[in-house]
Amino acid sequence: MAKVLVVGGGGREHAIVHALSKSKKVNEIYAAPGNAGIAKLAMCVNIKDTEVDKIVEFAKAEAIDLVVVGPEASLALGIVDELQKNNIKVFGPTKAAARIESSKNFAKDLMLKYGIPTARYEVFENYEEAMAFVKISPFPTVIKYDGLAAGKGVVIANNLIEADNALKDMLLDDKFGKGKVVIEDYLEGPEFSFMCFVNGENVYPLEMAQDHKRAYDNDRGPNTGGMGAYSPLPFIKEADYDFALNEIMKKAAKALVNEECPFTGVLYGGLMKTKRGIKVIEFNARFGDPETEVVLPRLTSDIYDAFNAVIDGKEPVLTWDKCATIGIVLASKGYPGEYKKGFVIENADSDDIYHMGTKIDENGNLVTNGGRVLFAVAKGDTLEEANKKAVKLVSEIKCDNLFYRRDIGAKAFRK
131 binds ligand AMP (CB under 6 A): no
Q: Could you say which of 191, 201, 217, 385 contacts ligand AMP (CB under 6 A)? A: 191
DSSP symbols for 18-64: HHHHT-TTEEEEEEEE--TTGGGTSEE-S--TT-HHHHHHHHHHTT-
User: Of 59-67, 126-134, 186-194, 354-362, which part binds ligand AMP (CB under 6 A)?
Assistant: 186-194
- With CB under 5 to 8 Å by kind, the binding choice for 284 among ligand GLY, ligand AMP, none is ligand GLY
16 touches 292 (CB < 8 A): yes
DSSP symbols for 215-260: EEGGGEEEE-S-SEEEES-TT--HHHHHHIIIIIIHHHHHHHHHTT
Where are the extended beta strands (E) located within 108-257?
Answer: 121-124, 141-145, 154-157, 181-185, 191-199, 202-205, 210-211, 214-216, 220-223, 228-231
**How far is 213 from 225, CA to CA, in rounded Å?**
6
Q: Which of residues 277-316 bind ligand GLY (CB under 6 A)?
A: 284, 288-289, 291
376 DSSP β-pair partners? 328, 353
259 binds ligand AMP (CB under 6 A): no
Q: Which of residues 109-128 bind ligand AMP (CB under 6 A)?
A: 119
Q: Which of residues 210-269 bind ligand GLY (CB under 6 A)?
A: 211, 226
Q: Could you say which of 101, 282, 289, 293 contacts ligand AMP (CB under 6 A)? A: 282
By beta carbon distance, the residue nearest ligand AMP is 282
Q: Is the CB of 8 or the CB of 179 nearer to ligand GLY?
A: 8
184 binds ligand GLY (CB under 6 A): no
CB atoms under 10 Å from CB of 314, counted, come to 13
163 binds ligand AMP (CB under 6 A): no
Q: Which of residues 5-44 bind ligand AMP (CB under 6 A)?
A: none
- With CB under 5 to 8 Å by kind, the binding choice for 413 among ligand GLY, ligand AMP, none is none
Q: Could you say which of 58, 176, 186, 241 contacts ligand AMP (CB under 6 A)? A: 186
Per-residue DSSP letter, 323: S
By beta carbon distance, the residue nearest ligand GLY is 288
Per-residue DSSP letter, 395: H
In the chain, the amino acid numbered 143 is I
The nearest distance, CB 274 to ligand GLY, in angstroms, is 19
**How far is 397 from 385, CA to CA, in rounded Å?**
19
118 binds ligand GLY (CB under 6 A): no
What's the burial of 127, exposed, middle or buried (CB within 10 Å: 0-12/13-18/19+)?
middle
Site residues for ligand AMP per CB under 6 A:
119, 142, 144, 154, 156, 184-187, 191, 213, 270, 281-282
Site residues for ligand GLY per CB under 6 A:
211, 226, 284, 288-289, 291
